[in-house]
Structure 1
Amino acid sequence: MRILLDTHAFLWGLADSGRLSRRALRLMEDEGNELLWSAASSWEVAIKYALGRIRLPEPPGRYLPARLQAQRVDPLPVSDAHAWRVAELPPHHRDPFDRLLIAQALVEGLPIVTADRAFKKYDVDILW
């Protein structure tokens, strides 16, 4: 199964914080699943790191790529179709990064691993 990871889901799993649900952890550990990391998540981490809202041992451009690869997480670029789909979303969720993840999930037909309850207001499959 192809699965889109919300930013926090990957970071929580990476930190082994115990915050992932059992189901999310199982899905992320299942080598039969194709895990996807959006370029929007990279952008989100970069901005939050620059603002001091997220701490990492080193800058995200050095820290995350090797960890994404080690966890078998493939990149999902942001396309024009993804960006345009954001304009069609109802305003249930105001976070621009999450709105783009929702749009990507809708365009690509992907379920999302997320603990964000606001995602449930959209017609996307939530895996948690």
Structure 2
Amino acid sequence: MKKIWLDTHTFLWLTNELYASLLSKEAKSLFLKPQTDFYLSLASIWEMAIKVKIGKLNFPVSLREFISQQLPQNGIKILNIKLEHVIEVADLPLHHRDPFDRLIIAQALVENMQIVSVDEVFDDYGVQRLW
């Protein structure tokens, strides 16, 4: 099984028909491969929770309900935040200051997983980015 990590925006675009057209052809094709396990970082859910609270992100249902529906519906597993992920953040250069992206980058490096993201700054960290 191939393990693929979804960046926050990739998860949001995948789960919302209005934004699905923003996904690249390669990203869309990944979701059709049966030998692939998809993961979402707990950091992404944390990021979404903050954005919901400050009014930058809205769902037709509560965040709790949205996540509870979308994860099983799309076959996505959660990757928890581990101590080694947080420690890795300290070793990352400061190419990017977004704390959620930095944690997601650290997780991808520690777990040696490819990440589906439009964010090219991930490339500066040596992350295996698909888009």
For 2:3, the equivalent position in structure 1 comes to 2
- Runs (4 or more) in structure 1 with deviation over 6 Å come to none
Shift of 1:90: 0.3
* Contact 1:49–1:59, Cα closer than 8 Å, also in 2: no
For 2:81, the equivalent position in structure 1 comes to 78
Shift of 1:120: 1.1
For 1:62, the equivalent position in structure 2 comes to 65
1:106 and 2:79 correspond: no
Name the SS of the counterpart of 2:22 in structure 1: coil
Shift of 1:61: 1.0
Report the RMSD for the aligned CA atoms in angstroms: 0.8
Identity of aligned residues (%): 41
Number of residue pairs matched?
128
TM-score (norm. length: structure 2): 0.95
Shift of 1:29: 2.8
Residues of 1 paired with 2:71 and 2:39: CA distance? Answer: 9
For 1:88, the equivalent position in structure 2 comes to 91
Residues of 2 paired with 1:97 and 1:69: CA distance? Answer: 23
TM-score (norm. length: structure 1): 0.97
